[in-house]
Structure 1
Amino acid sequence: MTTALEDHPVHTWLTDMDGVLVHEQSALPGAADFIAALQQFDRPFLVLTNNSIFTPRDLRARLSRSGIDIPEQAIWTSALATARFLAEQAPGSSAYVIGEAGLTSAMHEEGFILADTDVEFVVLGETRTYSFESITRAIRLIDKGAKFIATNPDVSGPSAEGPLPATGSVAAMITAATGTHPYYVGKPNPLMMRTALNRIGAHSETSVMIGDRMDTDVKSGLEAGMRSVLVLTGSTAQRDIEKYPFRPTTVLPGISDLVPLIEQLTPHEAVELDED
């Protein structure tokens, strides 16, 4: 297989999770083979997700149940990226957090004090139990001067019963009440890509982002200086690509089509790249 990706060496791979590796609770064709090939050829990689509900340990267990074996340290969530970003901006400060274990544990690990009064940040993540009380508290804290941060702008998320309101929808409610827009850390903000690359010591010029969405995965990869692969197993159909003013480097039916490319890249290429 020949693609535009082969114009330059590919040393590091970033990939979205839902719609690329899994759909609901089932692995997509070739997902386990793709991860196995990366590990076989010793290619650094990270699995990225805008979902801030779960910890990497939770997500590893979910992927393992579907037959995909990925270590915890190879999973990077919008919750982790948000906590890392805030730790760089204001280390050791306090925050009021709306979210679940994925976000609260990430904030704790970065040294934040979680409180509900006199906080520097209001941090909004995804949860299945948004409450009127917590949203009201967030609005009042922002009105008093707390800075408004959100893990990701997704307005809805999938469930077996249909779409659910997600972080972006609740953020819009808080913005309507306060006049304050949040700073979103997750995709399509290229900040999430840069924090992911920094986590594994990678460079954008030799990295590729794989995703199923033009408006988040491809856009954030492009803005972070990476090549991108759009797979058609998730949210974006071939006809949808024409709606956007930018293009992925390569469009493929699914992640299985990338397995032969991984096999073509030899460790010798990676050694030459490091020496440059």
Structure 2
Amino acid sequence: MTLPRPIETWLTDMDGVLVHEEDPIAGAAEFVEKLKSSGRPFLVLTNNSIFTPRDLRARLLRSGIDVPEDAIWTSALATAKFLDDQRPHGSAYVVGEAGLTTALHDIGYVMTDHDPDYVVLGETRTYSFEAITRAIRLVDDGARFIATNPDASGPSHQGKLPATGSVAALISTATGRRPYFIGKPNPLMMRSALNRLEAHSETTVMIGDRMDTDIISGLEAGLRTVLVTTGSTRREQIETFPYRPTKVVDSIADLIDLIDDTSL
């Protein structure tokens, strides 16, 4: 039996692993500080496309977690990387906020509602019926349909909010065209993160709180995976899935000592 290669790179989800909304999860700050002092490459991943990495860094700092801006990888950045690879210097009609529009501007894309190459749908707290209607008509006219992630809802202190997947379903129902989703559970999100770090899948671990996004995308990208039970998937639900994580722990605090151990 071939022994696994030592862990050199860490990827971790944000919501449900490091924070609950604005509230830090016990051990998260210590885990990030241990990663930084170890010198091991790492990225914090999120399907949230609303905010830029700078915004998310500020949000995490308010929670007492100091993550460098360049160590945050969003579905908006992964979407921009995909579009830059597929059709450099293209054009897009964007339904989304600063995290997505900034990422597309940074790769040289033009934002337009006149014959765009793509309709790109991201998350926003202010979905406009007018913007959705325009997106539907552009997709009908031949624009390729891309969405940052398939999450149907997002959390808030008041309860669930409709997210990208719900609005994508509305556009798909109206047009008969399904989008290509970039974010988790698409393993493309993991591969783009690995490429950013110039890391190898065999020496990387993914930490997440959801079996149906974090764990499956990590598994399909060839990574070792750790499920923490501080988020969406409860321990008793694990056996209902046809796949398993490499390891299950109660929280991120249980992984601090494993950073130096390099085995899993």
TM-score under structure 1 length normalisation:
0.93
Q: How far apart are the structure 2 equivalents of 1:212 and 1:33? A: 18
* Residue of structure 1 equivalent to 2:68: 71
Matched, 1:231 2:228: yes
- Mapped partners of 1:148, 1:130: distance in 2: 17
Q: For the residues of structure 2 that align with 1:144 and 1:264, how far apart are their CA atoms?
A: 55
Give the C-alpha shift of residue 243 in structure 1: 1.3
Partner of 2:132: 135
- Secondary structure at 1:96's aligned position in 2? strand
Amino acid in structure 1 at the alignment position of 2:172: T
CA offset digits 1:238-261 (Å, max 9, x no partner): 111111100000000000000011
Q: 1:164: Cα distance to partner?
A: 0.3
Mapping of residues 40-79 of structure 1, within 5 Å: 40-79=37-76
C-alpha distance in 1 between matches for 2:164 and 2:66: 28
Letter in 1 for 2:134: R
Instruction: Identify which of 167, 177, 188 aligns with 2:164.
Output: 167
> Superposed, which structure 2 residues align to 1:1-276 within 5 Å?
7-265=4-262
Q: Distance in 1 between matches of 2:125 and 2:64?
A: 26
CA contact (8 A) 2:117 2:143 kept: yes
Deviation of 1:117 after TM superposition, in Å, equals 1.3
Moved over 6 A (4+): none
Question: 1:264 Cα deviation (Å)?
Answer: 2.7
Rounded to whole Å, the distance in 1 between the matches of 2:256 and 2:5 is: 17
Distance in 2, matches of 1:149 and 1:7, equals 36
How far apart are the structure 2 equivalents of 1:178 and 1:255? 42
| Alpha-carbon offset, residue 7 of structure 1 | 4.5
Aligned partners of 2:4 and 2:202 also within 8 Å: no
TM-score, normalization by structure 2: 0.97
Structure 1 residue 156 displacement after superposition: 0.1
Separation in structure 2 between the aligned mates of residue 131 and residue 265 of structure 1, nearest angstrom? 47
Give the Cα–Cα distance (whole angstroms) in 1 for the partners of residues 64 and 80 of structure 2: 29
User: Which ranges in structure 1 are unaligned for 5 or more consecutive residues?
Assistant: 1-5, 267-276
Structure 1 CA distance for aligned equivalents of residues 239 and 157 of structure 2: 30
**In structure 1, what is the Cα distance between the partners aligned to 2:87 and 2:38?**
39
Q: Which amino acid aligns with 2:145?
A: F
> Residue type of the partner of 2:173?
A
Question: What SS is found at the alignment partner of 1:64?
Answer: helix
State whether residues 50 and 97 of structure 2, in contact with CA within 8 Å, keep that contact through their aligned partners in structure 1.
yes
